[in-house]
Amino acid sequence: MELLRAAVVLSVEVYDVNLSINMPEGPDGSLEFGTINVLDNKKHVLSLKNKGLYDIEYSFKLTTGSAKRGDLESPFTVRPQGAVLKASRPPVKVEVLFHPTTEVFLKSKPILLCQVIDLKSGQGGETVATIPVRVSARAVYSKYSIKPASPIDFGAMVKGTKKNQVLIVENKGTLNFKFLIHRAPPLQR
């Protein structure tokens, strides 16, 4: 039995996959949306730059975290959710939109995950890192009280006389709100 010998030449390259994410940070280092009214929206722009030697891909995923109410998938939209970042190119802008339809309270929760995919590794690439982006956001309804409660009773009055009553509208919430008082349409007889 004859033993075959062959020389195999291996070439190995070590390189760094380097993604830089710049974002407007709150005091706790999270993506801070502050407090807004339910049904309003607020947008922040992230800047992603490939600082490595080869092209990479990013992909944002929203995870469900613990919020007081509601589903986290609906109040946040990320555009574009994923794309290829070319090496040595200018940063790519990614918009994160907070558009709540119910009350939400998040304090520095890692609900936004940025997956970094090395396109040179295998077919379709390989996820080499998952970067959690912590998010702080609060959405509230306007809360107020009106005194006296309806109906407002002026009591018995002589025709043609006027009487004043005080109506108190008090803000019980955290955000300012606007209100309008206007003359009611005449009663139908």
pLDDT at 69: 41
pTM for the model stands at: 0.77
Where in the sequence is the domain holding 100, given as residue range(s)? 19-140
pLDDT at 10: 84
Is 146 within a domain? no
pLDDT at 93: 97
The pLDDT tens digits of the residues spanning 58-82 come to 999 998 754 444 444 569 999 999 9
Q: Which residues 6+ apart lie within 8 Å of 176 measured at CB?
A: none
Is 147 within a domain? no
Two structure tokens written together for 154: 């002026």
Number of domains in the chain: 1
Whole-number Å distance between alpha carbons of 91 and 49: 4
Share the mean pLDDT of the chain.
88
Is 46 within a domain? yes
Strand ranges of the sheet holding 82-85, from the earlier edge strand across to the other edge: 31-37, 126-140, 104-118, 56-62, 82-85
Is 135 within a domain? yes
**In the chain, helix, strand, coil percent, each to 5?**
0, 45, 55
* DSSP per-residue string spanning 154-168: --S--TT-------E
Q: Cα 77 to chain center, whole Å?
A: 7
Q: Does residue 169 sit in helix, strand or coil?
A: strand
Whole-number Å distance between alpha carbons of 47 and 161: 67
Is 171 within a domain? no
Per-residue pLDDT of the chain (189 residues; tens, 9 = 90+): 788 888 888 887 777 889 999 998 888 889 999 999 999 999 999 999 999 999 999 999 998 754 444 444 569 999 999 999 999 899 999 999 999 999 999 999 999 999 999 988 878 789 999 999 999 999 999 999 988 887 888 888 898 899 888 889 999 999 998 888 888 888 887
- What sign has the CA pseudo-torsion 81, 84, 87, 90? negative
Nearest to 109 by CA among 174, 16, 33, 23: 33
Is 91 within a domain? yes
The pLDDT tens digits of the residues spanning 136-164 come to 999 999 999 988 887 888 888 898 899 88
Is the bond leading into 27 cis (omega within 30 degrees of zero)?
no
Is 155 within a domain? no
| CATH classification of the domain holding 67 | 2.60.40.10
pLDDT at 65: 54
Is 125 within a domain? yes
